[in-house]
């Protein structure tokens, strides 16, 4: 990397992506053992592990750029140091809610990785290419479930629709712009949150209307911003405390 500002821009990008992956991975893992059916329990738990795996690799890349080691980054930061979006912090709710969040998040993730696959920052491009297949499965899984439930009973349709009503405004929190947008675009490191948001909305809007879902009007797409600056919902802190409970009970223990 040629200059310090570029370095900071990449780190900012890596932190927010990895934090989203870790937090949604942890949230989704809360379904382990209580998934709606055995097969889905296995599939959903496995995808949650994929997410944590992605976070690990991005933290590892940050470590190679001079940050702390992945375990320290993941488990020993304060809430305000996390740069995850509000969308991923929310509790899992009922399965329809989790499923719609997974649908909204993973479509953004898939397009993000597609853009990053041609990043001028090679280590990032390599990771994006490496994990594109996993995320492709994640959206295949999400799309299939949405289709299934929108072709199901009155209840399943109503549940999916109401989860979209509840989540759509918050899902724009993924695209909260950072301080280095222009630089990232200019240096071909990343195409920027705005471009990602536009493409994402086109994608989910098409799938939604194909399946009879009416996306609610969102008058203010910035309503759930703040996460990328370290301002979080009330739900993140208790989750972090739970995630680090064992570690804190015996600091420095060897595993």
Partner 1 sequence: MKTVSLDPRISRISDLPDQDETIIVERQEGWITYEVFHQKKTGTQHTHVGIVHAPNPEMAIVFAKESFGRRGATSNIWVVKSEDVTALDYTDSDIFDTTAEKTYRDASFYKTRDKIDQLKESEGHE
Binding interface with partner 1 (CB under 8 A): 30-31, 33-34, 37-40, 42-43, 46-47, 92, 137, 140-141, 144-145, 147-148, 238-239, 242
Lookup result for tokens 């296995």:
42
User: At its nearest, how many Å lie between partner 1 and the CB of residue 217?
Assistant: 31
Shortest separation between residue 196's beta carbon and partner 1, angstroms: 26
Cβ neighbours for 225, distance < 8 A, ≥ 6 positions apart: 173, 176
Q: At what angle do helices 38-64 and 122-150 cross, to 10 degrees?
A: 160
Would you say 116 or 236 has its CB closer to partner 1?
236
Task: Find where tokens 């980054």 sit.
Answer: 73
CB closer to partner 1 out of 118 and 148: 148
Give the residue with the Cβ less far from partner 1, 36 or 216: 36
Q: How far is the CB of 25 from partner 1 (least distance, A)?
A: 15
Q: How far is the CB of 16 from partner 1 (least distance, A)?
A: 25
For residue 121 the two structure tokens come to: 């920052």
Cα separation of 48 and 111, whole Å?
A: 19
Buried b (16+ CB within 10 A) or exposed e, 24-36: bbbbbbbbeeebe
**Distance of closest approach, residue 145 Cβ to partner 1, in angstroms:** 8
Residue with smaller CB distance to partner 1, 30 or 166: 30
* Pick 6 or 98: Cβ nearer partner 1: 98
Task: Output the 3-class SS for 166-218.
Answer: HHHHHHHHHHCCCCCHHHHHHCCCCCCHHHHHHHHHHHHHHHHHHCCCCCCCC
């Amino acid at each position: 990397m040629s200059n310090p500002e570029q370095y900071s821009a990449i780190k900012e990008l890596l932190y927010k992506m990895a934090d989203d992956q870790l937090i949604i991975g942890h949230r989704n893992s809360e379904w382990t053992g209580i998934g709606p059916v055995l097969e889905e329990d296995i599939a959903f738990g496995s995808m949650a592990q994929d997410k944590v795996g992605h976070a690990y690799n991005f933290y590892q890349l940050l470590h190679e750029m001079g940050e702390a080691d992945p375990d320290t980054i993941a488990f020993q930061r304060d809430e305000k140091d996390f740069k995850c979006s509000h969308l991923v912090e929310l509790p899992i709710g009922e399965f329809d809610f989790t499923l719609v969040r997974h649908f909204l998040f993973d479509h953004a993730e898939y397009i993000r990785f597609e853009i990053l696959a041609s990043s001028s920052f090679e280590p990032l491009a390599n990771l994006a290419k490496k994990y594109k297949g996993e995320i492709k499965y994640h959206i295949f899984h999400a799309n299939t479930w949405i289709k299934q439930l929108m072709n199901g009973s009155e209840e399943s349709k109503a549940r999916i629709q109401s989860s979209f009503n509840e989540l759509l405004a918050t899902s724009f929190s993924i695209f909260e712009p950072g301080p280095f947008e222009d630089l990232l675009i200019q240096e071909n490191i990343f195409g920027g949150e705005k471009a990602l948001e536009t493409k994402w909305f086109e994608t989910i809007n098409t799938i939604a209307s194909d399946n009879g879902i009416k996306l609610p009007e969102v008058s203010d797409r910035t309503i759930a911003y703040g996460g990328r600056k370290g301002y979080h919902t009330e739900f993140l802190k208790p989750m972090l405390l739970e995630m680090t409970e064992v570690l804190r009970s015996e600091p420095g223990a060897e595993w």
